[in-house]
Amino acid sequence: MAEQQFDPNRPVCRSGIVAKELVNGMIYIRHPRFSSRIVNRETWGFIQMCDGRDLDQLIIGVAELLGFSLTKEQLSSSIREFAENGVFIGTGERSPRSYRICNAMPLITKLSPSLKWLATRWFAILTAIAYLTCIALLVFDWTRFIEAVVSAVRQHPIQTLFLYYLTFIPIAFLHELGHASVANFYGGEVPEIVIGSSGNLAVITNMTVLKDRRAKIWYLSMGTVVDVFIWLALLVTFHYNNSYIVVVFLLPQTIYFLIYVYSIFKNSDFLKAVCAALNEPVPARPWKFIKDSWMPGSSAKSKLVWIMTVSLTVKLVITAFLIITFMFKEPMVLVLYLIYRVMVLAIGRWPSWWRRLFRTNLDLPNVDLKPGRT
Ligand SMILES: [Zn+2]
């Protein structure tokens, strides 16, 4: 369907954007042509102002709206960012987009009252016990587990590869509901359940309510708390029943706990929760941060470096152990895992590859200004 061309000097906001006011002056916006998002009131005001007027007129409008003026470069940069989010006519989203399924509030408001019992010290201790039980069960059933994985891969290699990807989707969604319930418990709305272009399910959450340290730590941890109890349920089930279907659910969850859950890369929940607990900023480049910051001391920063180094070491040791185990037992497991990683990369990147093939790039200045957190 042909659409009016985008002019970065006279951007036009899409018509028919549904906007809903949330707490803390945030606005939830949605439209069939872009991923729904939560923006601040000023950002929404600016988007609405873009009706085809030129940059000079927009500068005057923004000054009235925000109470301070922006330079032409800053304004162009903001326009570029919104264009990359697809909010203007003639633009499309750069990053993989998500699609609305339904309103998440009816579900979340049923879950969040339980946080009164769950976001407590006692429940944290119970989760730690559950986690230790998981480790004990895994160690106890390790030989059976490896045999079951090897036999699943030998009997149904391709099916196992796809199920490894698919069975993780509902579990990852429960993880997201864990996070969102905490935000809702503290008053934040969760206006939408979405499906991403890679098939992942997620929720859109107003996180501006997570002001104090305790709220932030619970928010960041609750996804993993949910995962611990799912892992425990799967391990107990496997202990009594090592059928193929149990193995394909247990395998991705076990790999997640063995090498990803305490990862310090890709802005992980773990790294963010540790940083929130230590009152330290999240390192933008964890690898460089470890390399540059290693020094003795007892400050929060050196504690963080220490935790990150231990996590990295454990990850490397367990990864090496898994590689050696499967190299001797069944190298096909490693080959399939490699194919899986390439598949995940391709699924995550295909929208941008598609765009590169079939669409022209937006010709906009490349200045980086964050006009408002989305
Ligand atoms: Zn998470």
For the stretch 292-348, pLDDT in tens is 877 666 688 888 999 999 999 999 999 999 999 999 999 999 999 999 999 988 887
Ligand 1 centroid, distance to 104 Cα (angstroms): 17
pLDDT tens for 163-214 read 999 999 999 999 999 999 999 999 999 999 999 888 888 999 999 999 889 9
When pLDDT is averaged across residues 106-131 and rounded to a whole number, the result is 93
Ligand 1 centroid, distance to 224 Cα (angstroms): 7
Dihedral pair phi/psi, residue 362, rounded to 5° = -75, 130
Q: Which secondary-structure segment (H or E) carries 27?
A: strand 26-31
Ligand 1 centroid, distance to 177 Cα (angstroms): 9
Place of tokens 């619970």: 218
Report the half-sphere exposure of 62 (CA within 13 A, side-chain side).
22
pLDDT tens for 24-66 read 999 999 999 899 999 998 889 889 988 888 888 888 888 888 7
Amino acid at 160: T
When pLDDT is averaged across residues 246-259 and rounded to a whole number, the result is 96
User: What is the predicted pLDDT for the residue at 69?
Assistant: 82
Ligand 1 centroid, distance to 212 Cα (angstroms): 19
160 CB-near residues (< 8 Å, 6+ apart): 152, 153, 248, 336
Ligand 1 centroid, distance to 172 Cα (angstroms): 8
From CA 148, how far away is CA 150, in angstroms rounded? Answer: 5
Reply yes or no on whether the pLDDT at 86 is more than 50: yes
Amino acid at 332: M
Contact 213, 238 (CB under 8 A): no
Ligand 1 centroid, distance to 74 Cα (angstroms): 33
59 CB-near residues (< 8 Å, 6+ apart): 69, 70, 72, 75
Looking at every residue in the chain, the average pLDDT score rounds to 88
From CA 119, how far away is CA 125, in angstroms rounded? Answer: 11
Ligand 1 centroid, distance to 216 Cα (angstroms): 12
310 CB-near residues (< 8 Å, 6+ apart): none
Ligand 1 centroid, distance to 206 Cα (angstroms): 15
Reply yes or no on whether the pLDDT at 364 is more than 50: no
Reply yes or no on whether the pLDDT at 373 is more than 70: no
Ligand 1 centroid, distance to 274 Cα (angstroms): 13
Ligand 1 centroid, distance to 248 Cα (angstroms): 21
Q: Of all residues in the chain, what percent carry a pLDDT higher than 90?
A: 61
User: What is the predicted pLDDT for the residue at 340?
Assistant: 94
Q: Give the DSSP per-residue string, 214-274.
A: HHHHHHHHHHHHHHHHHHHHHHHHHHH---HHHHHHHHHHHHIIIIITT--STT-HHHHHH
Q: Which secondary-structure segment (H or E) carries 123?
A: helix 121-140
Ligand 1 centroid, distance to 202 Cα (angstroms): 10
- In the chain, where does DSSP find H-type helix? 41-49, 55-66, 72-84, 105-111, 115-118, 121-140, 142-155, 157-166, 168-185, 213-240, 244-255, 269-278, 286-293, 300-329, 331-358
Q: Which two tokens stand for residue 369?
A: 């200004």
pTM: 0.87
From CA 234, how far away is CA 127, in angstroms rounded? Answer: 15
Helices (H) and strands (E) in the chain, counts: 15, 6
